[in-house]
Structure 1
Amino acid sequence: MGRMSASAVLRPPGESTVVVAHRGGLPGPENTLPAFEQALLTRAAFVETDVRLTRDQVPVLIHDATLDRTTDGHGPVAEHTFSELRTLDAGAWHDPRYAGSRIPTLDELLALLAPTDMNALLELKGTWSIEQASLLVDLVHHHGLTDQVVLQSFDAATLHALAQCAPHLPRFLLAEELDGDPVEAVRASGCVGFGTTPELLAAHPQALAALHEADFVVFCFTVNSREVADLLRAAGVDGIITDTPALIGG
């Protein structure tokens, strides 16, 4: 499968399932430039990452709300300035080979992707206001990547903020549990797609067909088994998010 633009993710049934490199994917440390650089060498169509704001409102790439697991720092990301975060090591915890890797900015990732045809799936962590979401959207525009970016969130208020400041950018609703009709949930969120787990789809066997019937895209996370990936492809899932894009791809 070749590369595709974010708009082409809204594919008709029968097209190839896209592969998404989760947090950049292995072997690099998650959400670091080495991981994203390695993702460019795979057959993945997208890189996925998590975006949080520093105390001084700089969008940075880190999954957890706190620094402790993936850096040598401590405490909440949101209580530190960018200059404080930039001194931290975000690679040594994963492998000594990556010691000295830093928490990257969203600006750095978009600059890396701009000369390429790789797409980005950006998850906004926590709750963002319209003003905060606009900071992210402005960076996407600055790098000319409006056709290569999909935004996603678990948070309804954040999705609403994105709909207000970037109605032209495709958005996915994320959910690990299902309370009610998934089609109505995606429609109410103003999104074009649904990101969820293989377990949720297995527990609700009619959900995938219903979402496709309503012309919504369905991505699954986080899939590191080729067997599970093959089952999802056969079922018609639109995208597979994986830590091992080299294994899952193709």
Structure 2
Amino acid sequence: MTVLSVNVNKIAVLRNSRGGALPSVAQAAQACLDAGCGGITVHPRPDQRHIRPDDVRALAALLRGRTAEFNIEGNPFAPARDGYPGFVALCAEARPAQATLVPDGDGQITSDHGFDLRQDGERLKPLIRELKALGCRVSLFMDADSPDIERVADVGADRIEIYTGPFAEAFDAGDAGRALEACARTAERARAAGLGVNAGHDLSQANLGPFLRGVAGIDEVSIGHALIGEALYDGLVPTVRNYLAVIAAVRA
């Protein structure tokens, strides 16, 4: 069954807009866990615009010993800077179950493309080895229909995460067929290469069911922006449970 990992970055955005400690990222994560999600995702950036290293450490402590997984996303090439130790160093402290590598920069509002492994593959190999030596499963953020899907296994990663932003945009426009087919082809190619398949970006209660029905074998979906937005109206626990119901209905 597809695992739901809740991205709690937006809780940190709200906290940081005011300063102080509220709303609590850890308390929000606990509510998601109480609702039955299978994991918590964070994406700390060097500029600390939302999730900060101390949040990562607090969530690592919260999740330690639980069956729910901790997934840390980030750019492994971003150098350490004041207050940010670097992605691999942060994973060495937190020991997440999964490290999801994303080629984002400070100038991006959000992740908007996957890796080009012809350009970055050799640089990724030693970093992936370091992360796996820490006990992390490694996933690479990849565009649907990327020519490099098979290379993900060659550089040593365990999974891909399909960038689903184009699918979500096409779904909102009422014509998601081609984007959904591209995701399905990508998942099939990844599985044929011995890789697991995750998905994330702009997935919502509206489009998650159609996505999972159209793309077989998704191991995990990481959802934050839409889920936190919907929770403003319905509450965090009911919203997480609604997502779990969507996943369960597809399985049934």
Q: Indicate conservation of the 8 Å contact 2:42/2:56, yes or no.
A: no
**Which of 143, 167, 171 is 2:132 aligned to?**
167
CA RMSD of aligned residues (A): 3.5
Aligned to 2:92: 138
The farther-off stretch of 155-164 and 106-115 is 155-164
Aligned to 1:194: 160
CA offsets 1:176-211 (integer angstroms, 9 cap, x no match): 465414222x12332111112342553354221121
Q: Indicate conservation of the 8 Å contact 2:44/2:53, yes or no.
A: no
Q: Does 1:44 align with 2:37?
A: yes
Q: Indicate conservation of the 8 Å contact 1:22/1:222, yes or no.
A: no
Rounded to whole Å, the distance in 2 between the matches of 1:66 and 1:242 is 20
CA offsets 1:132-157 (integer angstroms, 9 cap, x no match): 4552243135xxxxxx6100112447
- Name structure 1 gaps, 5 residues minimum: 1-15, 54-64, 71-89, 91-101, 142-147
Rounded to whole Å, the distance in 1 between the matches of 2:211 and 2:6 is 16
CA offsets 1:184-239 (integer angstroms, 9 cap, x no match): 2x123321111123425533542211211222111111354335322333332221
Greater fraction of residues in helix = 2
- Name structure 2 gaps, 5 residues minimum: 16-23, 104-119, 168-178, 228-239, 246-252
Q: Does 1:33 align with 2:26?
A: yes
Rounded to whole Å, the distance in 2 between the matches of 1:197 and 1:140 is 25
Amino acid at match of 2:194: D
* Shift of residue 17, structure 1, vs aligned partner: 0.9
Name the % identity: 13
Aligned to 1:86: none
Q: Indicate conservation of the 8 Å contact 1:122/1:150, yes or no.
A: yes
Q: Secondary structure at the match of 1:164?
A: helix
**TM-score (norm: length of structure 1):** 0.60
Amino acid at match of 1:164: R
Q: Does 1:22 align with 2:17?
A: no
Rounded to whole Å, the distance in 2 between the matches of 1:137 and 1:228 is 31
- CA distance 1:49–1:161, shift in 2 (3 Å): farther
Amino acid at match of 2:100: Q
Aligned to 1:239: 220
Aligned to 2:244: 249
Amino acid at match of 1:45: G
- CA distance 1:129–1:190, shift in 2 (3 Å): farther
* Shift of residue 47, structure 1, vs aligned partner: 0.6
Q: Does 1:216 align with 2:195?
A: yes
Rounded to whole Å, the distance in 2 between the matches of 1:248 and 1:116 is 21
The farther-off stretch of 40-49 and 152-161 is 152-161
Amino acid at match of 1:140: A
Aligned to 1:106: 56
The farther-off stretch of 227-236 and 154-163 is 154-163
